[in-house]
Amino acid sequence: MKIAHKMMALVALAALAIVLLTGITYYKTSHVKQEAIGITERVVPGLVEMSDMQRSFAQARYAVLFHIVQSDAAAKQKVEAEFQAYVKLLDESVASSEAAALTDTDKADVATLKQEIDTWRPWTAKILQVSAANDVAQAEQLIREKCAPQAAKVYAAMAQLEKDKQRLSDEAGDKVTDDIQSTISASVIVGVLLLAAIGAIGWLVGRSVTVPLTQLQDFLHRLASDNDFTRRLEANSNDEVGASLKSLNELLDTLQTSLRKLNRVGGEVSSSVTGLASTSQTMSQASSGVSSSASSMAAGIEQVTVSIGHVADRAQECDHTAREAGRLAATGGEVIESTIASINQIADQVRTSATQIASLKDRTANINTIVNVIKDIADQTNLLALNAAIEAARAGDLGRGFAVVADEVRKLAERTANSTQEIISTVSAIQNEANNTVHTMQHTVQQVDEGVHHAHQASVAIADIRQSADSVVHQVSEISNAMREQSSASMVLAQQVERVAQMSEESSSAAASTAQESNRLGSLGKELDQAIALYRV
């Protein structure tokens, strides 16, 4: 599996974990929401209704007292009308409480309250009747003896009903709290399990990448230290790193073959240089013999003719030897050009490997982009949770349970953001290793380019040797032609002794120059051997 596929699988697993954890949280939160809606729609309205009921009852009793203290009949009628309105509101509140009763206890409490109110109602009517007759003393007596005690019973019934409704509210709140705790526990357990799974898989993926890269780094370090081209890397994986290791092994095979060829060619060049030096020495000795023969030509035409024939034979041998040296120099130049072409191919393969590793680094950058998107989503979720907590705080006690839920959602978003940060750190480590590999490959390309430069210098030196050999061939040909002319006209040769002696000196100088070029070529061959000896092939 390629590294990109491994990273995509890891990201997919992280996304699946987030979706699963979000699904569980959403399911649990929906259940909590239903419980909260039940409290809001059924329990809280009952408590609010109790407050309205108590206020209406208190206002009705106040209206009775206010009716007694009024002296004007019109004012009394107005207060009585207000009393009837308050009683009507009281009856409506009791009816609403009866309709909203959730349990048998609530229904029994409402029935008791209605009975107490029905008992209280006739006494208030009696008091209003006595007050209308302006009998304040009797009205006050009825309030103390009848109405006030009955009102206390009504208040007691209201208190009992409120107490039961409050108990129901507390039970519903406890249930919501239990559901929230269950949601937190489930989210924590699932989150820990998913985080452990993602961490284990991430560790395996990271190890599958870092271990081969570490081996590659150690191998290249040793290669740069001892120049041993006989070692190879183990490429067991099928990802981009494994392909790079295989390509590097192929590159080393090619380099090893090329260096062996260079070693062999250097040996051949050294051998050819030795032969050329020997030939040059022979030609120098022959030139000396020609000069000696020219001095002896004055003694007799016959001896001169024999000496000229001997010189002609030597010149023929020199011509053959010089041509052979030129051919060997040309062959050496062709081999070195072929070696340069092979090294250029090696450099292209190294650059291709560096490009592949750079592509690996670009793909990990895409993973960073995806992980940043996940982090942005987690940050947005955290912001929404904070806004929800603020709105719940504004709702007071009624939004307390929703505030707890919003806080848990915020904590979940924070843990998601922390997880994405860990993924970003892992991917950054992978990118750093890929950058190190690219730098190492670039260093290898630079070394290969230096090898091409040295081989090109050797090619130029071979070309110089070939040019010198051609010059020797040309000069030796002239000597051979001159000897043939001297042999065909021995009489004329006697007259040209000085010219022959001069040409012999020129031949000796050319032989010395050839010997000098041979020594130079030998030095270049030794340098080439020393450069190749640095590498173990």
Token representation of residue 474: 């040309």
For tokens 């099928």, what's the residue? 238
For tokens 């092979």, what's the residue? 342
Indicate if the pLDDT at residue 56 is higher than 80.
yes
Specify the CATH class of 28-176 in words.
mainly alpha
Identify the CA nearest to 169 among candidates 6, 70, 46.
46
- Give the per-residue pLDDT at 532: 67
3-state SS track over 74-85: HHHHHHHHHHHH
Every domain of the chain with CATH number 1.10.287 lies at 227-533
Indicate if the pLDDT at residue 371 is higher than 70.
no
Distances from the Cα of 55 to the Cα of 58, 93, 399, angstroms: 5, 10, 25
pTM above 0.85, yes or no: no
pLDDT digits (tens, 9 = 90+) for 451-475: 667 767 766 766 776 676 577 557 6
pLDDT digits (tens, 9 = 90+) for 153-200: 988 988 888 888 788 777 777 777 887 787 788 778 888 888 888 888
What secondary structure does DSSP assign to 479-497, as a single string?
HHHHHHHHHH-HHHHHHTH
Token representation of residue 342: 């092979």
Residue 247, classified by CB atoms within 10 Å of its CB into exposed (0-12), middle (13-18) or buried (19+), is: middle
Q: How far is CA 140 from the centre of its chain?
A: 90
CATH code of the domain occupying 227-533:
1.10.287
Indicate if the pLDDT at residue 506 is higher than 80.
no
31's enclosing H/E stretch is: helix 3-38
- Give the per-residue pLDDT at 315: 57
- Helices 148-226 and 3-38 pack at an angle, to 10 degrees, of 180
Most confident of the following: 150-154, 166-170, 348-352, 421-425: 150-154
Identify the DSSP state of 396.
Answer: G
Indicate if the pLDDT at residue 55 is higher than 80.
yes
- Give the per-residue pLDDT at 37: 61
What secondary structure does DSSP assign to 404-472, as a single string?
HHHHHHHHHHHHHHHHHHHHHHHHHHHHHHHHHHHHHHHHHHHHHHHHHHHHHHHHHHHHHHHHHHHHH
Rg over alpha carbons for the chain, rounded to the nearest Å, is: 57
- Give the per-residue pLDDT at 219: 76
Q: 172 — phi, psi (to 5°)?
A: -65, -40
3 state SS of 228: strand
Every domain of the chain with CATH number 1.20.120.30 lies at 28-176
Mean of pLDDT over the chain: 74
Buried (b) or exposed (e) across 81-100, using 16+ Cβ within 10 A? ebbeebbebbeebbebbeeb
Q: Which residues contact 160 (CB under 8 A, 6 or more apart)?
A: 109, 112
Q: Which residues contact 60 (CB under 8 A, 6 or more apart)?
A: 83, 86, 87, 90, 124
Give the pLDDT band (50/70/90) at residue 361: low
Identify the CA nearest to 399 among candidates 32, 31, 47.
32
The amino acid sitting at 137 is A
Span 253-275, mean pLDDT? 72
Hey, CA dihedral for 69, 72, 78, 84, is it positive or negative?
A: positive
Contact 285, 278 (CB under 8 A): no
The amino acid sitting at 430 is I
Higher-pLDDT residue of 252, 82: 82
Geometric angle at alpha carbon 382, from 381 and 388, rounded to 5°: 90
- Cα dihedral angle (53, 391, 409, 180), rounded to 10 degrees? -10
For tokens 């070029």, what's the residue? 517
Span 475-490, mean pLDDT? 66
Neighbours of 465 (CB within 10 A): 28
pLDDT digits (tens, 9 = 90+) for 177-189: 887 787 788 778 8
Indicate if the pLDDT at residue 388 is higher than 80.
no
pLDDT digits (tens, 9 = 90+) for 202-250: 887 777 777 777 877 777 787 778 777 677 777 677 767 777 777 877 8
pLDDT digits (tens, 9 = 90+) for 336-346: 678 777 767 76
Indicate if the pLDDT at residue 11 is higher than 80.
no
Q: Which residues contact 24 (CB under 8 A, 6 or more apart)?
A: 186, 187, 190
Identify the CA nearest to 478 among candidates 278, 290, 319.
319
Distances from the Cα of 32 to the Cα of 26, 41, 177, 374, angstroms: 10, 14, 8, 27
Identify the CA nearest to 69 among candidates 127, 149, 145, 134.
134
